A and B are shown apart, each in its own frame.
Chain A
Amino acid sequence: MPVTGEEIQLILNVIRDTQAVEIDCDVCLMQVGEFAEDRLAGKPIAEGLKAIEQHLLICPECREEFEALCEAMNALENPES
């Protein structure tokens, strides 16, 4: 099977966002809560959390977990909805 056009674009996207120094998924997990709280509060991304933002761009699994965390936080804030 050939690689699809969509998949080629996926590779190009991660290449674009790849940096020489990156954090891994375990470091991301420890700090993604702070990142999510800031995002939900509408705060700009703090300098110390830029590495999290970059990791979420290149790691689909952590991105899925971040989106799930935002859902969870909304449910915890508004338990009756």
Chain B
Amino acid sequence: MVRDRDNDEWIKSLQAEGPIRESALSDLRELLFVGLKSALKSRSDFIDPMLDDFLQDSLIRILEALDQFQNRSRFVTWATAIAIRVALTQLRKRQWRDVSLETLVADTNFEPEAASDELAPDRRELVEAMYHVINTQLTEKQRIVLLAEIKGMAQEEIAAQLGCSRNALYKLSHDARFRLKQELVLVGFDSKSFAAAFNG
């Protein structure tokens, strides 16, 4: 029978030694098993035999991060969030490991004509302005990151292929988005104009 614990007891037990820690680890593993199985069910690339590895890696990450738990949620909720990050990061890596960022970018171009058929006529101006900023105001790396992210490429894989850290990637992505926004606002577009360029 799996026993949940209050937050203090989880932390104390996991920091203890011997049977108290063993029993807490085993209960946490059971709870993460139930949570992860359900969390991953919508991923078609997930199969049950992967769970053992995911759980093993998750427990290591959770134990390493114990001192970052701020007691602002239930402990099990916090631990489950970490386990989901561990599992999905591994699934995304597998999904994207054979895709070359270089090819992805080389195969795509930000040309104003590209999607004009589907464009609502009054939105053509906005999209053309956006392309102009992307092509003239963003750095090569910012353009690559923006493109790779809208293609859904895993952040971990983008960072690996660019040879930068996840934090550096986040900064590149933020700088690209923020620059784009600032430039578009400068030429007269506001948040409302970004809402629906395509009538669908």
Residues 51-81 of A at the B interface (beta carbon under 8 Å): 58, 60-61, 64-65, 68-69, 71-76, 79
Pairwise interchain contact B84-A30, C-beta atoms closer than 8 A:
no
Given contacts A61-B154, A61-B155, are A72 and B84 in contact (CB under 8 A)?
A: yes
Considering the chains assembled together, what is the distance between the CA atoms of A36 and B177 in angstroms? 26
Residues of A within 8 A of B109 (CB): 1-3
- The segment from B9-17, B19-27, B36-44, B49-57 found at the interface with A is B36-44
Q: How large is the interface on A (under 10, 10 to 19, 20 to 34, 35 or more residues)?
A: 35 or more
Closest B residue by C-beta to A38: B73
Considering the chains assembled together, what is the distance between the CA atoms of A5 and B115 in angstroms? 6
Residues of B within 8 A of A45 (CB): none
Residues of A within 8 A of B174 (CB): 18, 22
Pairwise interchain contact B88-A18, C-beta atoms closer than 8 A:
no
A51 CB to closest chain B CB, in angstroms?
A: 13
Considering the chains assembled together, what is the distance between the CA atoms of A8 and B72 in angstroms? 38
DSSP majority for the A interface? helix
Considering the chains assembled together, what is the distance between the CA atoms of A32 and B78 in angstroms? 8
Given contacts A16-B195, A33-B74, A79-B34, are A24 and B170 in contact (CB under 8 A)?
A: yes
Contact with A along B47-82 (1 / 0, CB 8 A): 000000000000000000000101011101110111
Considering the chains assembled together, what is the distance between the CA atoms of A6 and B150 in angstroms? 9
Given contacts A26-B166, A37-B77, 20 further A-B contacts (CB under 8 A): A2-B109, A2-B114, A3-B114, A3-B115, A6-B198, A11-B146, A12-B130, A16-B181, A18-B174, A25-B155, A32-B81, A33-B73, A36-B77, A37-B74, A58-B177, A69-B80, A69-B81, A71-B38, A71-B41, A73-B35
Residues of A within 8 A of B76 (CB): 76
Residues of B within 8 A of A61 (CB): 88, 92, 154-155
Given contacts A12-B130, A20-B178, A24-B170, are A33 and B194 in contact (CB under 8 A)?
A: no
Residues of A within 8 A of B119 (CB): 5
- Residue numbers of B with Cβ under 8 A of A are 31, 34-42, 68, 70, 72-74, 76-78, 80-82, 84-85, 88, 92, 107-111, 113-115, 118-119, 126-127, 130, 146-147, 149-152, 154-155, 166-167, 170, 174, 177-178, 180-181, 184, 191, 194-198
Residues of A within 8 A of B108 (CB): 1-3
Closest A residue by C-beta to B154: A61
Q: List 27 A-B contacts (CB under 8 A).
A: A1-B108, A3-B109, A8-B115, A10-B150, A11-B180, A12-B126, A12-B195, A16-B191, A25-B155, A26-B166, A32-B81, A33-B72, A33-B78, A34-B72, A34-B73, A34-B77, A36-B81, A37-B73, A37-B74, A69-B84, A71-B38, A71-B42, A72-B84, A73-B35, A73-B77, A75-B34, A75-B38
